[in-house]
Every structure is written in C-alpha cells, then in structure tokens.
Amino acid sequence: MNETEYKIQIDDVIRRVETARVRVSGHHIVKIVAVSKYSTIDEIQKLYNIGQRAFGENKVQDLKVKSAELDELPLEWHFVGNLQKNKINNLLDLNPTLFHALNSIELANELQKKLEAKNMTLDALLQINSAKEESKHGVMPEDALNIYKEIQDTCSNINLKGVMSIGAHSEDYKVVKKSFETTFDIYKQLKGATICSMGMSGDFELAIECGSNMVRLGSVMFNK
C-alpha cells in the first residue's frame, strides 16, 4: 500500500477504536500499539509518517533489527512475545518501552537477576491466561493477584504497570467477552496499575468495551 492507502486504513481503525472507547466513557483513553511482526521497515516508516509512534514485536531478534534500522525516529518499542530465558539479556540491551508478556514468577526472577546486574529497570505487564487455554502462556486468573504482589515484593527492578491478555480463541462472542472481563476484573483489583493490554485485530472493539486501554493491532494496521 502507498501512504494514502495506509492513511485511509488507519483512519478507519482509529474511528473504530473511538466508537468503542466512547461507549465506555469520553474519558476512557485507548492507546494503539501497532504490532509490526509481519511488516517491513518500509511499512513501519509509512505508519510513522502518518502519526503512529508505538510499535510492537514478538521476537527479540526482529525487535533488534527493526529498532536499529529506525533508530533515528522517536519510536516506542513494545515487546509482546513470549520471552525465552536465553534471550533476556538481548531484550534488555534494547531497552524496550514495555514488556507485555511477563508470564511466570520464574521468568520474573530471571529478569530481576539480569536487571540488577545491568543496574536497570523494566516496565512490564503480567500476562494472564484468562480462558485457561493450553496453547497460551500466562498465569491462571485465580493466581494472578498473588503472583502480581509477589513480583512487586521480590523483584524491585521490575515495574509492574498492569496486565496483558489474549482474548479466548473462540467463535463464540460470549466466551471471548468473558475472557476479557476476567482480565479486567483482575486489573481493577490492582492498586496503582494503569495498563490493561487486551484486544487484537479480530476482537479489539469488544476488548475496549470490556475496559482495555491498550490494544495490540497487527493485521488491521498493516493490512496483512
């Protein structure tokens, strides 16, 4: 697509986000993270030219290459993927804006060790497996509050900012809605949490209506 086509596409996404968020409240602000994992440097640059600033990747190596190539631009880079322990140092060296997928105490402890050694901090979200799906990472909803607190108490270099979840993999609207409500319910109980990251291309309006204030959009943003 050329830049004009991107603009039409993005304006449409923004309109859809607007409609959904105003249904919640005029004060409910939603941030769009453009997930660029299937997209090229050139495509990211085109979105930047029409105003997009926050981008997300799910592989450390891709984040490294793309953020280095686009180093001159004032972009925010989010890491939304599952993080393997042997990639922790590589991710930290890229100093991402936000790590969305902190999904266990073990990973938090590993991160804490490496953060301490590098004398740095990391903003992160606790990933919740809200529909308890085998195929997904994340902590069980009933454990989430305790794990969140434990990470806060024991990992002083991790700044937990809230929660992240992927909507239930289902054709049934009610099942997906319930998975978002489960995550939002946990988010509401967390003191000081400010980010509830849920909603992807196929379900972001529903996620926003359930309280999401950060959507991670790949295919609708990049027309993939």
Ligand X SMILES: *Cc1c(COP(=O)(O)O)cnc(C)c1O
3-state class of 82 per DSSP? Answer: coil
Token pair recorded at residue 123: 């903003």
Token pair recorded at residue 106: 């073990």
Compare residues 103 and 182 and give the one whose CB is closer to ligand X: 103
- Alpha-carbon Rg for the chain, nearest whole angstrom, is 17
Q: Is 59 in the site for ligand X (CB under 6 A)?
A: no
Report the site for ligand X in 64-83 (rule: CB under 6 A). 80-81
Binder to ligand X among 49, 61, 121, 219 (CB under 6 A)?
219
Count CB-CB contacts under 10 A for residue 165.
30
Compare residues 11 and 116 and give the one whose CB is closer to ligand X: 11
Compare residues 13 and 115 and give the one whose CB is closer to ligand X: 13
d(CA 19, CA 25): 10
Residue nearest to ligand X (CB): 218
CB of residue 13 to ligand X, shortest distance in Å: 10
Q: Is 96 in the site for ligand X (CB under 6 A)?
A: no
Compare residues 53 and 118 and give the one whose CB is closer to ligand X: 53
Q: Tell me whether residue 5 is exposed, middle or buried, using C-beta atoms within 10 angstroms of its C-beta: 0 to 12, 13 to 18, 19 or more.
A: exposed
d(CA 190, CA 80): 21
Q: Is 145 in the site for ligand X (CB under 6 A)?
A: no
101 closest CA partner among 52, 177, 146, 162: 162
Angle between helices 3-24 and 41-49 (to 10 degrees): 60
d(CA 8, CA 154): 47
Q: Is 216 in the site for ligand X (CB under 6 A)?
A: yes
CB of residue 212 to ligand X, shortest distance in Å: 12
CB of residue 9 to ligand X, shortest distance in Å: 13
Compare residues 94 and 150 and give the one whose CB is closer to ligand X: 94
CB of residue 81 to ligand X, shortest distance in Å: 6
Compare residues 65 and 120 and give the one whose CB is closer to ligand X: 65
Token pair recorded at residue 107: 């990973």
Report the site for ligand X in 154-213 (rule: CB under 6 A). 166, 200-202
Which residues of this protein are in contact with ligand X, per CB under 6 A? 35, 37, 58, 80-81, 166, 200-202, 216-219
